[in-house]
Structure 1
Amino acid sequence: MTEEGARLSELAKRRGFFFQTAGAYGGVAGFYTYGPQGATLKENVEGAWRDRFVTREGHMEVSSPDVMPEAVFEASGHLDGFDDMLV
């Protein structure tokens, strides 16, 4: 992560946008919990997305699990070339 990315991440944590899940117990890599501001922002973005793509354009929404077996990420190439600045 760049220095700027690290500073932005720390600011977002301090301002209540997100924090590491189970952070008091050492945390879980790759899992974050939305704080009050983050939850509000997430709901606003999802609402705008639904309004545009579901309501106006008639697309259908699908909800899928975020945790998947390693084989899925191997097949998609994420194991070799994916980098998440939050992890």
Structure 2
Amino acid sequence: MIDLYVYYKVRELDAAALAPRVRALQDSVGVPAQLKRRPEASAGLQTWMEVYPGVDDAFPARLEDAARSAGLASLIEGPRRAEIFMDLPTCA
């Protein structure tokens, strides 16, 4: 299992239109998800992050397909960047 973090820039003017689309996307993928943003904006851009904890290795590709289908790109400035993290093994 992995934790997937997807971050991207959103124009402040597009934030209100994008939020319901991202939440609908998150509802459609069938796993618990979070939507976050940095508290400050820079040059009219907000940084948003989608968090998907405890997903399988195939999930990132399924999510990107769903994001393309949801038409998020028109409301995002630049690419969606994905980072994958995994738990460290516990010591015995």
Q: Could you tell me the TM-score, scaled by structure 1's length?
A: 0.26
By percentage of residues, which structure has more helix? Answer: 1
* Structure with more strand by fraction: 2
Relative to the length of structure 2, the TM-score reads 0.25
Asked which structure has the greater RCO (Cα within 8 Å, sep 6+), the reply is 2
